[in-house]
Amino acid sequence: MTIPEITDSHCHLDFPDFEGELDAVVARAAEAGVTRMVTIATKLRNVPQVRAIAEAHAQVFWAAATHPMSVADEPMASVDALVALADHPKFVGIGESGLDYHYTADSKAAQQESLRIHIEAARQTRLPLIVHARDADDDMARILTEEHAAGAYTCVMHCFTSGPALATAALDLGFYLSMSGIAAFPKSQDLREIFAAAPLDRILVETDSPYLAPPPHRGRRNEPAYTAHTARVGAELFGLNYADFASRTQANFDRLFWKAAGAAV
């Protein structure tokens, strides 16, 4: 029986957790039907390593940004530098950028400046913005809405765990919500209800590996193959069989990450 194909829309294959194991990790992903993955550089100085991973593995694409939790310690990104990255054929998104007030609220002003820079780069490249949001729902909704009114761009709310108001704001702008392993945790019923109320054509799946492994691997290192576990939960939420849900999320990924969709894998 053919395994339905899905895409891990967000992972971190350059992290030390995967050192020396990338060939095996990519192979296990393929066995699980995860035929594509987007690996994310969270600091622009890590671009060479992340780009090299994408160049070495046909199934891997990449994106880059300054993560909001790193904004205070890294040089402020420039629009020109981000736009220049898009010259690479496997560079498919701007991110992850965003706002994180959980541990780093003291840098909120710099985070907001950085987010607006990344939004402008997404506009100019027409590549999707990949957003990280934690404990910053009001500011996030405000900035995303203000910036969209100033000039349209596309966006995915990666590893979405925020409240229904931010979900509604993002969906109203035409943005996408991405399900991580958190959506499969037993105590995440409120989050599952947010996803279930969203349009199916705006849903992606991801691991955010090496973090947030879904059951039955919770508490251990996450990896792209485990996207399948989260996708099965998504299929249940939308009342679909797994193959249909996989097909719909593939179409969603192709629509948003159009540059990856046009590449031969």
Feature table: binding site for a divalent metal cation = 10, 12, 96, 132, 158, 208
Count the residues in the chain. Answer: 265
Q: Show the CA angle centred on residue 13, arms to residues 8 and 17, nearest 5°.
A: 120
3-state helix, strand, coil in the chain (%, to 5): 50, 15, 35
How far is Cα 85 from Cα 46, in angstroms, rounded to an integer? 12
How far is Cα 86 from Cα 96, in angstroms, rounded to an integer? 15
Q: Per the annotation, where are the binding residues?
A: 10, 12, 96, 132, 158, 208
* DSSP 3-state of 60: strand
Beta-sheet strand order (sheet of 203-205): 6-11, 34-41, 60-64, 91-100, 129-134, 155-157, 176-179, 203-205
Residue 218 CA to its chain's centroid (Å): 19
Backbone φ and ψ of 11, nearest 5°: -150, 175
